[in-house]
Amino acid sequence: MSFTRPEPPYYAVVISSALSGEDPDGYAAMAVRMAELGARQPGYLGRESQTGADGRELTVLYYRDTESITAWQRHTEHLEAQRLGKQRWYADYHIEVARVERAYGFQRS
């Protein structure tokens, strides 16, 4: 558990992506910048992310509400990152916006 979640409802953005292999340094720098900037946006709650041995990345970003997601999607610097992402960095991606309705967990004592 990388962060403390609030009680549902809240929102999850599920991103499954693969890189093109083009300009890896540019991508890495932008990924760090977007993670920092994104984490400072109103309504951002936290993230979970794993990259597999096949290079595919699965990331879930959490937000308080859809307004927070829309505002980040339209952020000027993020729009430029999205443009470059499609032009250079991504082979493909799939994004889903989902409303978390219930949540539960287990922690070994």
Q: Does 79 bind its own copies (CB under 8 A)?
A: no
Shortest Å distance, C-beta 63 to its own copies = 12
Backbone angles phi, psi at 39, to 5 degrees: -70, -15
Q: Cα(94)–Cα(17) distance, rounded to whole angstroms?
A: 6
Closest CA to 1 of 46, 64, 36: 46
Distance CA 44, CA 71 (A): 11
- Give yes or no for residue 5 binding its own copies (CB under 8 A): yes
36-75 footprint of its own copies as x/- string (CB under 8 A): ------------xxxxx---xxx-x-----x---------
Q: Does 4 bind its own copies (CB under 8 A)?
A: no
Question: 61, 69, 50, 66: which is closest to 3 by C-alpha?
Answer: 61
Interacting stretch for its own copies, rule CB under 8 A, among 25-33, 37-45, 97-105? 97-105
Footprint of its own copies (CB under 8 A): 1, 5, 8, 12, 14, 16, 20, 48-52, 56-58, 60, 66, 86, 90-108
